[in-house]
């Protein structure tokens, strides 16, 4: 019972801080995209500190993190935590995110400021139009990392679902490097809100795929790379107890 209240209390603090910091620092964040990113990264640092103090959760980043050249990041998604890690470590992140989040106060304001794109998950027509709009906007940018979650939703560690084709559409039209990212963040902070004591929350930049007109790219390769390494990270952490 004590552990349950600790989980609830920690989650409440983290999400309350999202609102408080978002409101208090909004005037500063509204000045520029750079300021907005500074506020977001500060929030990530505070959350990581809370997780360290409350549960001794360590944040680990492996592989070669993209520089600020324009690129795509295709990542496994298990938890709010892997979102925060990418927000922190990527120089100029922006996300393809579900349309429901566009109605969330504060969060949606910051998301728009850094250039996030919303898609309606269960409406193929609207999703396609949103992707085309993202392609149009991104084609003009020479910097920033556009993050897409190919599963379209959070999954639990070890779970596999079908990958959506949006990542291939973006890759083929934007002609920029694609980074594949694995994670076990759901082990440390599950999508149900449970935290794991003494866990390592890892993300790994597995592979950088440079675009080539002669290249043959498919979801099978992308999925196999991400799922295999995510399972490796999960099994490694599970073995630690």
Q: What is the pLDDT of residues 98-151, one digit of tens each?
A: 767 667 778 889 998 999 887 766 656 666 777 777 777 777 777 899 999 999
The 71-75 sheet, strands edge to edge: 58-63, 200-209, 178-183, 71-75, 145-148, 93-98, 117-119
| Rg of the chain over all Cα atoms, to the nearest angstrom | 18
Measured distance CA(206)–CA(180) in Å, rounded: 6
Alpha carbons 130 and 141: distance in angstroms, whole number:
17
Phi and psi (nearest 5°) for 42? -65, -45
Euclidean distance between CA atoms 135 and 113, whole angstroms: 17
Say what the pTM is.
0.92
Token output for 26: 């909004």
In tens, the pLDDT along 156-197 reads 888 888 998 888 888 888 889 999 999 999 999 998 889 999
**CA angle, 187 then 67 then 188, to 5°:** 10
For the chain, domains (ranges, CATH) are: 2-240 (3.40.1130)
> What was the pLDDT predicted at 121?
61
Q: Are 154 and 47 in contact (CB under 8 A)?
A: no
Confidence of residue 1 (pLDDT cuts 50, 70, 90): low
- For the ranges 144-153, 176-185, 197-206, 228-237, the lowest mean pLDDT is seen at 144-153
For residue 119, which of 93, 83, 148 has the smallest C-alpha distance? 148
From the list 59, 24, 29, the residue with the least C-alpha distance to 44 is: 59
Between CA 211 and CA 217 the distance in angstroms is 9
| Residue 197 · residue 56 · CB < 8 Å | yes
User: Averaging pLDDT over each range in 87-91, 174-178, 217-221, which range is the top one?
Assistant: 87-91
């Amino acid at each position: 019972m004590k552990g349950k209240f600790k989980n609830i209390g920690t989650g409440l603090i983290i999400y309350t801080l999202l609102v408080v910091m978002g409101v208090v620092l909004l005037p500063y964040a509204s000045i520029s995209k750079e300021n907005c990113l500074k506020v977001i990264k500060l929030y990530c640092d505070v959350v990581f500190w809370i997780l360290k103090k409350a549960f001794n959760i360590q944040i680990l980043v492996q592989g070669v993190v993209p520089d600020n050249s324009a690129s795509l990041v295709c990542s496994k998604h298990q938890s709010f935590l892997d979102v925060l890690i990418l927000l922190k470590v990527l120089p100029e992140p922006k996300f393809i995110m579900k349309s429901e989040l566009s109605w969330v106060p504060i969060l949606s304001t910051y998301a728009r400021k850094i250039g996030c794109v919303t898609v309606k998950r269960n409406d193929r027509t609207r999703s396609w139009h949103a992707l085309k709009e993202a392609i149009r906007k991104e084609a003009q940018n020479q910097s920033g990392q556009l993050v897409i979650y190919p599963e379209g939703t959070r999954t639990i560690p070890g779970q596999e679902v079908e990958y959506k084709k949006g990542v291939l559409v973006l890759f083929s039209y934007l002609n920029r490097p694609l980074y594949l990212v694995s994670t076990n963040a759901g082990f440390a902070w599950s999508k149900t809100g449970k935290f794991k004591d003494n866990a390592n929350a890892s993300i790994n930049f597995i592979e950088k795929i440079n675009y080539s007109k002669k290249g043959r790219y498919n979801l099978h390769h992308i999925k196999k790379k991400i799922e295999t390494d995510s399972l490796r990270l999960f099994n490694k952490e599970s073995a630690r107890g």
